[in-house]
């Protein structure tokens, strides 16, 4: 088996690295390194989105005919790995990773022609209207109504925990167009312009002071019937299709490898409690090795999914496996990071250049450098806390295991 890169793969890797050297500015790298959530701030997201769009690499997993890249699985892996290693910030997945693939799979020719180019360019910035007060994991119980009136639906209701709704100009929404004996029936997937009269966004500010999530109120909002994706009343089918991309439309492994390598570098430094190295602790070294093996195993599943995506296929039940293992391994990595931080007695600090000046004693590090000694610029505690939500959002991991049991094992 040939495990090395071919000459063409090596040339592609060099091309990606050259692009990153030119376009991934120190400011973008610094923001990517300090990210604690799966989302970067809006300004950073759009700056990086623009750079990738101009290069033609903003949606590499889309089918080529819609603006994707005709890459091999290895090229997708190289691209993801190089972005992770360079500390590139993530892009918003709402348009590129969710709404776009759904339109490719279920949209009309008119919807594809209008929306897909705008998603690629960043002209449209999307948010997701799924959860409601009382309808989170039990999403089929949603109550936001859409009543037909001529060529429109008149929508009333509320959505909550809506990420970046304060920036979005469009929302893909699940609404109830009829009440049936089975709650999954009568749900419709519809696209709404956020500038429509009757749409009101209110912030949900976290304890950290960050404004990422929102609640949205819809009062007599008129939406053209042509904005329905799929069939009226069949939105649950469309929503399940979208969730496959939400859970399995991106790669966890490259970023996990990068984070674990950072922990290993820290563990090899002198100066822990008693002056030794954490890597010499057999128990910690074993946990590092075990986690590395699990990430590599996850990586092969991601390769299969990436191959399916590039051919216009949905990830299928493997997306539930990917989401479950990806988020749980990510949580384990944050636990190892906390263990390393405690060993070296590093202070809690979001990053070394926080307001108020550098951390006393922290080494001066530019975004492109690998720090010598413990990495003071890594927001370990904040990442640990934020990652607790990973096994809840996009469908709890308990629900994912039920999906796998039914779809794969036939239970």
Active-site annotation, residues: 246
In three-state secondary structure terms, 298 is: helix
**Nearest partner of 251 among 99, 50, 73, judged by Cα:** 73
Between CA 100 and CA 83 the distance in angstroms is 22
User: H-helix or E-strand containing 145?
Assistant: strand 145-149
Q: Report strand pairing: 211-224 vs 152-159.
A: antiparallel
- Residue 245, token pair as written in the block: 């991309």
The single residue listed with the structure tokens 């996990």 is 256
3-state secondary structure of 129: strand
374/341 Cα distance (integer angstroms): 8
On the 0-12 / 13-18 / 19+ scale of CB atoms within 10 A, 358 is middle
| Spatial distance between the Cα atoms of 201 and 204, rounded to a whole number of angstroms | 10
User: Does residue 202 sit in helix, strand or coil?
Assistant: strand
The 3-state DSSP composition of the chain as helix, strand, coil percent (nearest 5) reads 50, 15, 35
């Amino acid at each position: 088996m040939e495990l090395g890169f071919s000459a063409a793969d090596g040339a592609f890797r060099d091309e990606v690295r050259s692009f990153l050297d030119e376009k991934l500015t120190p400011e973008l790298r610094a923001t990517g390194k300090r990210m604690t959530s799966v989302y970067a701030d809006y300004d950073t997201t759009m700056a990086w989105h623009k750079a990738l769009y101009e290069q033609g690499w903003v949606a590499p997993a889309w089918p080529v005919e819609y603006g994707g890249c005709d890459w091999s699985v290895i090229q997708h892996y190289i691209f993801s790995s190089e972005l992770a290693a360079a500390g590139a910030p993530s892009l918003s997945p709402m348009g590129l990773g969710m709404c776009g693939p759904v339109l490719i799979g279920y949209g009309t020719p008119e919807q594809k022609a209008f929306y897909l180019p705008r998603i690629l360019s960043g002209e449209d910035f999307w948010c997701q209207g799924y959860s409601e007060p009382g309808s989170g994991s039990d999403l089929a119980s949603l109550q936001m109504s859409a009543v037909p009136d001529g060529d429109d639906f008149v929508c009333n209701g509320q959505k909550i925990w809506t990420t970046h709704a304060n920036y979005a100009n469009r929302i893909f929404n699940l609404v109830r167009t009829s009440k049936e004996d089975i709650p999954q029936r009568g749900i419709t997937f519809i696209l709404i312009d956020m500038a429509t009269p009757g749409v009101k966004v209110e912030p949900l500010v976290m304890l950290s002071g960050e404004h990422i999530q929102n609640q949205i109120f819809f009062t007599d909002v008129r939406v053209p019937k042509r904005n329905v994706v799929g069939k009226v009343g069949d939105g649950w089918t469309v929503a399940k299709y979208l969730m496959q991309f939400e859970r399995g439309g991106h790669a966890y492994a490259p970023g996990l490898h990068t984070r674990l390598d950072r922990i290993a570098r820290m563990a090899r430094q002198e100066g822990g409690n008693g002056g030794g190295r954490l890597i010499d602790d057999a128990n910690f070294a074993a946990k590092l090795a075990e986690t590395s093996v699990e990430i590599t195993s996850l990586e092969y599943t991601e390769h299969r999914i990436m191959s399916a995506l590039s051919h216009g296929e949905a990830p299928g039940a493997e997306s539930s496996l990917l989401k479950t293992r990806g988020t749980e391994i990510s949580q384990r990595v944050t636990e190892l990071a906390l263990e390393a931080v405690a060993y070296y007695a590093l202070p809690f600090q979001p990053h070394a250049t926080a307001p108020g000046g550098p951390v006393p004693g922290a080494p001066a590090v530019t975004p492109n450098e690998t720090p010598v000694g413990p990495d003071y610029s890594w927001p370990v505690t904040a990442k640990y806390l934020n990652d607790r939500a990973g096994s809840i959002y996009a469908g709890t991991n308990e629900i994912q295991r039920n999906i796998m049991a039914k779809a794969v094992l036939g239970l």
